[in-house]
Amino acid sequence: MESLKNMTDDELVQLYANNNNDAFDVLLMRYKNKVFSYIYTATKDKDEANDLFQETFIKAVMTIRQGKYSEKGKFVSWLLRIAHNLIIDTYRKDKNENTISNEEYGTDLLNDIKLYDDSLEEYWAKENALNGVVGLIDQLPENQQTIVRKRFFKDLSFKEIAEEEGISINTALGRMRYALINLKKLATENKIFMEA
């Protein structure tokens, strides 16, 4: 582990892409304070900052594991960009929640079948993929299944999950990280392709 601490970000990313988990732990230790401070400064909410922090690193993990990382020499900037985009997405979601009404459009959006005809095939394709993913979750180790279900189906924060499970937030994050890695492997084996 000591020798890893002297490596550059790019070297560590390459090692992690080749399944050396210690390399990612070094990157996490190197930048966790900077990333968390950036998120907390933007959100002013510790729970939300914790969730966005976890999601930032999960997205980084998935991108590196999928071989899509290409920001040579700019790892911390790339991490902060992921965090920034997640903050913006959260802000937009909060701002736009419950803002659509039928009156604004002069048509009944919920019952006008013409609005759905073109995308019915797409809807069924997504529905089948979702069912496939749910089936894959059942194949995960039980402690990983629990974290995935509570995070994505019950929409609990990592803090809430940690409290319910009697584990640390870092343990919850670790289980989620391994669950996502395992899901990607299972999805590839079963030819179920999930969008990143």
Give me the pLDDT at residue 140, please: 86
User: Tell me, what's the pLDDT at 154?
Assistant: 79
12 alpha-carbon distance from chain centroid = 21
Which pLDDT score, from 0 to 100, does residue 112 have? Answer: 45
**Would residue 196 count as lying in a domain?**
no
pTM value is 0.51
* pLDDT score for 30: 92
pLDDT of residue 98: 46
Instruction: Report d(CA 171, CA 55) in Å as an integer.
Output: 14
> What is the structure's pLDDT at 180?
85
Would residue 49 be called left, alpha or beta, if left means φ above 0 and alpha means ψ between -120 and 50 degrees? alpha
Looking at the fold, whether 86 and 133 belong to one and the same domain comes out as: no
Helices (H), 44-119: 46-65, 75-96, 102-105, 114-117
Q: Report the CATH number at residue 77.
A: 1.10.1740.10
Calculate the alpha carbon distances from 91 to 1, 51, 77, 95 in Å: 38, 14, 21, 6
- Same domain for 19 and 88? yes
For the chain, which residues score pLDDT lower than 70? 1, 94-134, 190-196
Into how many domains does the chain fold?
A: 2
pLDDT in tens, 111-131: 444 444 444 455 445 555 555
